[in-house]
């Protein structure tokens, strides 16, 4: 690390291990560090930069909006917020949207909305059934909703009311339903757990269970939404319409913005129930508009599915060659089981070779390339991964 930057390293809280690299700029699928060294980026800010680094449409939208209107506050309408709300509503089964700045904030909003609905229509029912190994964010309530091992005690006491069921086991959900239950909340594909998809029968059974017991079905699509899984939203592929959905990550393509969407029947906040200084901030939502227009443009999602297929085929071949485990994927969200806990070692070796990878669990790698990656970039990454695995053998 260059000496001018190294001396302030300790000024940042050490909340995550960081390599001695300072990234200076990005361009599409690539990042460049302080020595102008190039990295192929298959992390893309944790599935955030859906259009890659510094995409022209977002740069244009931000610079135009920045010179026009940065902020008016959430108690006034602004044009890009209205446009983004319209785009989200007209392309989903939902009727209303609330904008936030992070995935956790959107999920907090979903939890509050479900509890509000429970107070209004279900005699104060408040329990939200969530799932083992799920991830919903890092606020106190969303950590309590998450099923990450160890998170039940780390900042005890937890926020009450998040009993945990087992993914893809409908009986485990049914067993938790009681008069206090108001909703079931899940990721259509558990991302941080290592790209674990729900199966279609389970999600359909869950919808039925919710209908039979007057419960809200909440999908956390912070990671799976916005084209990541090959359709605009992952739940579309299961033929199930949820009551509430949250978006984050890819929605701003690198700019912090999130959204809470609800069907009219449960969109029941009263004045003052929900808010946030930066919610619907014109600058942030202008990036969201640019992203949504791009995702909805002719052939974009289809091309992104091809990126996913090419990567999956390459990973399957690599898995065979090096005797690794299964490849799981939906669209351009993929994981490769390693059959050992070599994940962190591979991530480090890959970075040294100029390839950025992520190991959400020590036993698997996760791949979140830009949705507009081109075939040559996918081949390049696969070639690098193969070389790295060979050297580590
Ligand atoms: C990343 C993520 C979150 C949290 O989003 P933040 O923007 O980090 O608060 C919530 N849910 C899921 C499924 C995620 O992948």
Task: Note the pLDDT tens digit of each residue in 193-245.
Answer: 999 999 999 999 999 999 999 999 999 999 999 999 999 999 999 999 999 99
Using CB atoms within 10 A of its CB, is residue 62 exposed (0-12), middle (13-18) or buried (19+)? middle
Q: Residue 15: beta bridge partners?
A: none
Return the domain boundaries, the chain.
3-55+299-392, 57-295
Task: Give the Å distance between the CA of 300 and the centre of ligand 1.
Answer: 24
CB contact at 8 A, 260 and 241:
no
- Mapped onto helix, strand or coil, the DSSP state of residue 355 is strand
The answer for residues whose C-beta is within 8 angstroms of residue 116's C-beta and 6 or more apart is: 268, 269, 270, 273
Report whether pLDDT(289) > 70.
yes
C-alpha span between 119 and 127 (Å, rounded): 11
What percent of the chain lies above the pLDDT cut of 70? Answer: 99
Q: In the structure, what pLDDT confidence band is assigned to residue 5 with cuts at 50, 70 and 90?
A: low
Residue of 100, 107, 135, 137 to test ligand 1 pocket, by largest number of atoms within 8 Å of CB: 137
CATH topology for the 57-295 domain = 3.40.640
Q: In the structure, what pLDDT confidence band is assigned to residue 1 with cuts at 50, 70 and 90?
A: low
Q: What is the pLDDT of residue 46?
A: 96
Report whether pLDDT(177) > 90.
yes
C-alpha span between 175 and 172 (Å, rounded): 5
Ligand 1 contacts CB of residue 92 (under 6 A):
no
CB contact at 8 A, 232 and 291:
no
Q: What is the pLDDT of residue 68?
A: 98
Q: What is the pLDDT of residue 2?
A: 60
CB contact at 8 A, 182 and 214:
no
Residue of 15, 249, 253 to test ligand 1 pocket, by largest number of atoms within 8 Å of CB: 249
Nearest to 237 by CA among 211, 290, 206, 200: 200
Tens digits of residue pLDDT in 236-280: 999 999 999 999 999 999 999 999 999 999 999 999 999 999 999
Cα–chain center distance at 344: 21
Report whether pLDDT(3) > 70.
no
What percent of the chain lies above the pLDDT cut of 90? Answer: 97
Give me the mean pLDDT over the 295-311 stretch: 98
What would the two tokens of residue 349 be?
């070796």
Ligand 1 contacts CB of residue 188 (under 6 A):
no
Q: Residue 31: beta bridge partners?
A: 26, 39
Pick the CATH number of 3-55+299-392 from 3.90.1150.10, 2.40.37.10, 3.40.50.300, 3.40.718.10: 3.90.1150.10
What would the two tokens of residue 54 be?
């510094």
C-alpha span between 51 and 56 (Å, rounded): 9
The mean pLDDT value of the chain amounts to: 97
The single residue listed with the structure tokens 């990973």 is 315
Q: Which atom of ligand 1 is nearest to the CA of 221?
A: 13
Q: Residue 223: beta bridge partners?
A: none
Q: What is the pLDDT of residue 393?
A: 87
C-alpha span between 139 and 146 (Å, rounded): 10
What DSSP designation does 273 have? S
Nearest-5° Cα angle at 26, 64 to 23: 120
């Amino acid at each position: 690390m260059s000496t001018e930057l190294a001396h302030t390293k300790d000024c940042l809280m050490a909340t995550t291990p960081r390599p001695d690299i300072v990234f200076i700029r990005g361009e599409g699928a690539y990042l460049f560090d302080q020595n102008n060294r190039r990295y192929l980026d298959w992390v893309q800010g944790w599935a955030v930069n859906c259009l890659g680094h510094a995409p022209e449409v977002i740069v244009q939208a931000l610079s135009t909006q920045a010179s026009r209107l940065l902020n008016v506050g959430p108690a006034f309408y602004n044009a890009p917020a209205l446009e983004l709300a319209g785009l989200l509503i007209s392309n989903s089964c939902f009727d209303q949207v609330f904008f936030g700045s992070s995935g956790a904030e959107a999920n907090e909003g979903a939890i509050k909305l479900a509890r509000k609905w429970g107070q209004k229509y279900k005699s104060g029912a408040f329990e939200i059934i969530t799932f083992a190994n799920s991830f919903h964010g890092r606020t106190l309530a969303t950590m309590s909703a998450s099923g990450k091992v160890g998170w039940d005690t780390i900042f005890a006491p937890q926020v009450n009311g998040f009993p945990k069921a087992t993914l893809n086991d409908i009986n485990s959900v049914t067993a938790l339903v009681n008069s206090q239950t108001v909703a079931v909340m899940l990721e259509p594909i558990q991302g941080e757990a290592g790209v674990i998809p729900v199966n279609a029968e389970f999600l359909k059974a869950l919808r039925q269970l919710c209908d039979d017991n007057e419960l809200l079905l909440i999908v956390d699509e912070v990671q799976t939404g916005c084209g990541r899984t090959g359709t605009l939203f992952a739940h579309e592929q299961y033929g199930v319409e949820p009551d509430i959905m949250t978006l984050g990550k890819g929605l701003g393509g690198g700019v912090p913005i999130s959204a809470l969407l609800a069907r009219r029947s449960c969109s029941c906040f009263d004045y003052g129930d929900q808010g946030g200084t930066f919610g619907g901030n014109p600058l942030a939502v202008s990036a969201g508009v640019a992203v949504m227009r791009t995702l909805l443009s002719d052939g974009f999602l289809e091309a992104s599915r091809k990126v996913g297929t090419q990567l999956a085929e390459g990973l399957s071949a690599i898995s065979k060659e090096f005797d690794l485990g299964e490849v799981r994927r939906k669209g351009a969200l993929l994981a490769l089981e390693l059959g050992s806990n070599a994940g962190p070692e591979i991530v480090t070796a890959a970075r040294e070779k100029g390839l950025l990878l992520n190991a959400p669990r020590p036993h698997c790698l996760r791949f979140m390339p830009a949705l507009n990656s081109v075939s040559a970039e996918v081949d390049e990454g696969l070639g690098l991964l193969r070389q790295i695995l060979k050297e580590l053998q």
